[in-house]
Structures are given as C-alpha cells and as structure tokens.
Chains A and B, each alone.
Chain A
Amino acid sequence: MEPFEIIDHTADVGIAARGETPEDLFANAAAGMFSIITDPDNVEPRTSRPVTVSGSDRADLLVAFLNELLFLFETDRFITRRVEFDRLTETELAAVAHGEAIGPQHELETEIKAVTRHELAVEQRADDWHATVLFDI
C-alpha cells in the first residue's frame, strides 16, 4: 500500500494516509499534505525546524501537527520534506521537520487554507495505522 493517497472531495481535497507506527502515519500524512502544495521531488531537506504540539486526542493531535507545518509554510516559507519524531504520545508530540525555504525551483500549486476536522479519523487496524484528513482549499 502507498504511504498516502489523495482522496476526492467535491470542493476540497483530502488524504488517506497509513503507517506501520503512529510516527510513520504522522510523517506520511505530512508528506501527503505537502504533495498537494508542491512536487515533493523538488524539495531537499537542507534545514530543519522543531515542532512541538499537543491535542485532546490522537486525531486532534494530527490536526494540530499538520496545522503547525502549514503555519511554518505560511509565516516562515518553510516546506517540509520529512519529519523525525523524538516523542509521540496520544496527546503530545515533539519532532523535527526537515525541508527548505520556498525557492524558484518550487512550483507552488495549491494553497491549503486549513486542516479540517470534517470526517477526521485516526485508527489502528490489524497491522497498521490509518488516517483520513480533509483540507480546505
């Protein structure tokens, strides 16, 4: 199975991500989100940013995490390529996002206004973890 798939929504767009561990799942969700914004093959992990967020449960934490990466993108022009986790619990995470600043080599395709909570799901299945997240475009 792919680490993430883009899913259809009439007005917006979403991702269905999976991972063997919650860390994989969160990292793949981040990769999925940035693949909507720009072609990830053109993004190099040249610098990094610390990311620390909390949430009321695992789904809320995933939204907070993706929102933080979007915030870095918008205010610091930082595109995340991959993420390493120092700590990930049900309600808290500390991680390092690797990527680079927006440059002329990046064609920015789609602006994501927000990570929504509509039909939001994070669940553990038999062998792996799954998440569904919809974005407001």
Chain B
Amino acid sequence: MAKGWSGPLEQIDDYRWRIPKNAQSGMRVDGILYADDRLMEMVRQDNAPQQVANVACLPGIVRASYAMPDIHWGYGFCIGGVAATDIDSGGVVSPGGVGYDINCGVRMLTTSLEREAVQAELVRLMDTIYNSVPCGVGVGGQVKFSGREQRDLLERGAEFVVEKGYGRARDVEHTEARGCLDGADPGTVSDRALQRGVNQCGTLGSGNHFVEVQVVDEVYDEAAAEQLGIRRGLVTVMIHTGSRGLGHQVCDDSLRTMEKAMRRYNIELPDRQLACAPVDSPEGRRYLAGMRAAANFAWANRQILTHHVRRAFAEQFRQSDEELGLDLVYDVAHNVAKIEEHEVDGKARRLCVHRKGATRAFGPGSPELPEAYRGLGQPVIIPGDMGRASYLLVGTQAAMEQTFGTTCHGAGRTKSRKAAVRSAKGRSIQNELKKKGIIARARSSRGLAEEQSSAYKDVDLVVDVVHQAGLSRRVCRMKPMGVVKG
C-alpha cells in the first residue's frame, strides 16, 4: 500500500537529503533526511518522505523536520522522525510525534560472563529467561501495585520500583532522565488507561519487543568501550519494550482531545494523526503531564523486567546477580517528547523535541549525563534485528548542533508484516536461527515470522550513516546469542 515519494529530494552531501519547503503547501521548514544512496533507494519506495513533509507543517517547528536513516512509514509522523517546536512562539506538541507506545525504549546490561561460559548453558538460560519474563499477548505481570502505589509509580518511575526491591540504586543513575520525567501528573491518566496498565507493569508485550542475550563481537573504540565496561567476547543483555496498554491509552485519549483543540486553535494539517495543540495550552499541558506519567511507567516496566532477567541469570548460573555483573550500561527512550533548550539561529530557545523512533544522543559535557559518562557522551543503544546485530554508540557535539542531540533508534523495517509472514510460509524461523547458533523462544510463530531478519534494513548500513554523519560514534557491535519474543 506504500505509494512512495515522487516529490523533490535534493542531495546535500553524502549522508543528507533535503525536501525543500516549497515541495508541498503548508510546509514551514525543509525536511532533512539522513541516508546514504543504498538506504535512500528504500526510502523513496516508502511513504515516509511524505510524512516528513507533513510534519514540516506543524506550527512552531524550527530548523527542519528531520528523519533518521532507519526512517519508515509510521502513522502521522514517520518512524525515525525528529521535530522540535518553539514553545514561546506557539509551538505545538503532537501525541503522534511520540506514538502510542510512549517511552518505548531499550536498555543494555553487561555481564561478567564470556561467550563460552554462556554458550554451554544457552538453551537452558533462554528457557529460564522465557519462563521468568511475562511476554506475549494478554499475559499479565507478576508484580501487583495498589492504587496508591500505581500513582507513585507514575509520578516517580524507575526509582519507585527500585525502592520496592526491583533493582539497584545505580540503575536509576544510568537511565535517561534518571528514569523519571518531572511534571508527570497521574491525575491526568484516565481510568481506562490505569485499567489497561494495572496488570502490565513488568511485561514485555509482543511485536518487536524482546529480551536478547548478546555477545560483543566487534569493538570500534577501545577507550570508550573500556569506560563502558565492555570488551570483545563479553556477554551482554538488551531489553526492548515500552509503556504497554497504559501508554497506548494515554495517547489515544489525547488524540481525541487534540482533534477538538485543533479546531479551537485554527490549526490545519494534512493528516488527522498529526493532531496537536500548543505546548502552552491546557490541552498541551495535559497531554505532556499524562505522557510523562506513561513514560515513567515504561521506565518502571523495563526496570522490573531487568529484575526478572537478573533473577533468571542467577538461577541458571547459581551465583548472585551482583557476581554475574548484570550492570546497567544505560537505558534510552526512543518514543518521547521533552522540553529541552537548544540553540536556534544563534539564540537559546525552549523547545518541545519530539523523538518518534529516534534516540537522544547528547554529546560530552551534558549535565543530563551521569558523572561516569560526562566526558564520553551519552550511551546510545541501537537494536538491530534478531538474526544480525545491535550496536552501542555514544552521543556527539555534532548531534547537538545538527539534530537537537538525536540519532537513529534501530534498523527500521523494510518489509511489511504481511509480506514477512508470506515469505516465511513453509519455513521455521526458529530452526533457521538455530542453525546460525541463535536460540529463539517466542509465544507466537507468526510473531517470529514477522520479525525475521529480512523484514529489516541492515542495521550496519543505518549505523554507518549516523556514524559518518557524526550524529553518534560507534563503540561496539553485539551479535545475538538468544532471543525471547512475545
């Protein structure tokens, strides 16, 4: 159903392309896409460039509507989209610029184990993780919170669940925004959202969410790797999930409010899914207060899952989880809107930065970073697909200057779910992975088919573009050993 983009795409340099603002009526700024020639061939076939142009129509948008090299067709915003609006010039916040899965994100843990030690136990380890991590459609969590506790959780995020015993104090330090966005108001979260979320804190979900056991197979920057506690052959863990039904409902509730608000503020946009309201309006403030609560829920969710994974490792290797390392390197959000200060036309401006399938990548020196990483830049975790690789990078000053401190978030799909399932007919994805030495555990065989490697762009190409363009710097690559899917 993708129609592709036939409008102008001007090449700026090896890694940047421009959709000029005269390409479509209503565009307030240019669209800027990061891609090399190979990725651009795929991007042209997709509807995503159209969405980049649509986003450029948002009131108050500054500099450009950006797209990362993992860009693909989303709803409203493309996935891989970055847009910042100037709050003091009527800039808007758009729930579509965050998405339904508010604070979908990814975290990475290092272990004290080498590949060989894990290889010997891999099948049993993956079974143990699979049995410890609630995953799949309609599967509830093991941790229950009272109404009062749920409110605290929405207000305080990761720290709240760490205090309840699900993690270590240092985990909070190593989480973007310390696992809690200020200004969350649980009172703005509807009863429906609370009902959807009540059973889901500490659950993985399905779709592209996963827990992976990985091994570092390539180190590009020895000094940075050492600072991050990483070396070749080391086993690591990656967890990818978000705010579950609670976040989905917060987004949906807000879209209905925003549609009405648009009429009141006389905002007209080319797509209903781009519904928005000024950041500085009752509707805008209300959405942000609810979105922050959902973001905090997501950090609590990944924190509880981390606890389950640590316990699974401890059970399998009969050692305490501290002895096994399992230290959190970092946790990043890749679907979120944040109020940040950036320079625009030489002046510091208060911006609402939407990152929809895009990762914050703050450079060295940012006060947002924990002490340990301040000289290095923010760790950026880029999951690839379950058959190929994932990456750890660090943020750069160039990203601060070019993209409000933002980089890509993953490989990006290239094949639809339907096409992926069709191409998997008569094959066992699980067996194919096993032949490559990767142990996969999943509730649904269709889910595995939808998520097979060939449905994604090659993450190596995507990461190469952000590295070459300077948006973040490659530290190391991890190969999957085992994967748990919903």
Contacts and interface: CB of A to CB of B under 8 A. Distances in A.
Interface of A: 6-14, 37, 56, 60, 67, 71, 73-75, 77, 102, 107-111, 113-120, 134, 136-137
A109 B73 CA distance: 22
B137 A110 contact: yes
Interface stretch (B217-225, B226-234, B251-259): B251-259
Contact of A102 (B1, B101, B138, B273): B138
Interface residues of B, number: 49
B414 A10 contact: yes
A118 B100 contact: no
A115 B419 CA distance: 21
A136 B416 contact: no
Contact of B416 (A13, A74, A102, A117): A13
Contacts of A109: 137, 444, 446-447
Contacts of A9: 1-2, 73, 416-417
B192 interface: yes
Contact of B417 (A13, A107, A111, A117): A13
Interface string B20-49: 000000000000000000000000001110
Nearest to A56: B259
A111 B418 contact: no
A114 B95 CA distance: 13
Contacts of B256: 60
B90 interface: no
A110 B418 contact: no
Contacts of B469: none
A9 to B, nearest CB: 6
Nearest to B209: A111
A5 to B, nearest CB: 10
Interface in B135-171: 136-138
A137 B137 CA distance: 11
Contacts of A13: 416-418
Interface in B56-80: 72-76, 79
Contact of A117 (B46, B273, B450): B273
B405 interface: no
A67 B196 CA distance: 12
A111 B273 contact: no
A134 B73 CA distance: 12
Interface in B189-230: 192, 195-196, 205-207
B10 interface: no
A108 B76 contact: no
Contacts of A102: 138
A75 B190 CA distance: 14
A52 B256 CA distance: 17
11 contacts: A8-B416, A8-B418, A13-B417, A60-B259, A75-B195, A110-B446, A111-B136, A113-B248, A114-B248, A116-B100, A120-B272
Nearest to A116: B75
Contacts of A115: 252
B444 A110 contact: yes
Contact of A71 (B46, B136, B196, B251): B196
The 6 closest A-B pairs by CB, nearest first: A118-B75, A108-B137, A118-B273, A8-B416, A111-B206, A10-B73
Contact of A10 (B72, B76, B101, B245): B72
B413 A10 contact: yes
Given A11-B416, A111-B486, 17 more contacts: A6-B418, A7-B418, A8-B416, A9-B73, A9-B417, A67-B252, A108-B138, A108-B444, A109-B447, A110-B444, A113-B207, A117-B275, A118-B76, A118-B272, A118-B273, A119-B75, A136-B248
